Amino acid sequence: MLKTSDMSNTIPDEKTVITYLTYLCARLLSIRNEQHAATVIQMAWRRYQTRRHPTVSTDCIIVSVQWHIIEENF
């Protein structure tokens, strides 16, 4: 691993920069894929819950609208 003193006041080696950028891109793509998977699972679960208990989702919408109206009045 490089120290900060290795990178300051000098021009870093091209291979070092490419290695760090490659690692960073791999990590960001991995995080992006995990986030996408979590979003898909969450949407499927919500859709399932809405079909299973349609009145619960309707009640939640009514309560959130009422709460929004109360907040606007203050």
CA distance 62 to 74: 19
CA distance 17 to 11: 10
Residue 2 is predicted with a pLDDT of 63
Residue 26 is predicted with a pLDDT of 92
pLDDT in single tens digits along all 74 residues of the chain? 667 666 677 777 888 888 889 999 999 998 988 989 999 998 898 888 888 876 766 777 777 777 777 777 76
Torsion of Cα atoms, 53 then 57 then 62 then 66, to 10° = 130
Residue 74 is predicted with a pLDDT of 62
Pair 44, 30: CB distance under 8 Å: no
Can you give the pTM of this predicted structure? 0.48
Structure tokens at 49: 């819950």
Structure tokens at 12: 């870093």
